[in-house]
């Protein structure tokens, strides 16, 4: 099973609040989990990524929490800002499978000023 399930589909957060996006996967062969940020009319850009042997990774206001036993991972955006308004995709990669990226369905995040 190659699917990566992402929720919620859309999210509205007040400025300064915490935005949380969740993803779940089935394939235990996945060995790299990136998050991408995409603005309208632009290509996605890598935001932060984690490997399954780590439970948490933090870069600035962005944190990935990873639960290997539950096969779930989430993105937390602290002190959310209007400039964070974008679509976020979680993803998973199996290096041995020609590094194909399996994308989640995306979350449209809106930060209210």
Among left, alpha and beta (phi > 0; psi -120 to 50; other), residue 30 is beta
* Residue 102 C-beta: closest distance to another protein, Å: 8
| Out of 15, 42, 58, 68, the residue judged to bind another protein by CB under 8 A | 42
* Residue 26 C-beta: closest distance to another protein, Å: 17
The residue to which tokens 């779940």 are assigned: 24
Q: Beta strand pairing status for 86-93 and 19-25?
A: unpaired
Residue 9: count other Cβ atoms within 10 Å of its Cβ: 9
Residues in region 72-101 near another protein by CB under 8 A: 89, 93, 95, 98-101
Give the binding site for another protein (CB under 8 A): 32, 34, 36, 41-46, 49, 89, 93, 95, 98-101, 103-106, 108
């Amino acid at each position: 099973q190659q699917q990566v399930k992402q929720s919620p589909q859309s999210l509205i957060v007040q400025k300064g609040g915490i935005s949380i996006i969740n993803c779940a996967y089935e394939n235990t062969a996945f060995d790299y989990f990136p998050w991408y940020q995409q603005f309208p009319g632009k290509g996605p850009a890598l935001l932060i990524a984690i490997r399954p042997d780590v439970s948490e990774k933090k870069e600035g206001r962005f944190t990935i929490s990873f639960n290997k036993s539950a096969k779930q991972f989430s993105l937390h955006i602290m002190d959310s800002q209007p400039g964070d308004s974008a679509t976020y995709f979680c993803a998973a990669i199996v290096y041995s499978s020609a590094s194909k990226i399996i994308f989640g369905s995306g979350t449209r995040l809106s930060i209210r000023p």
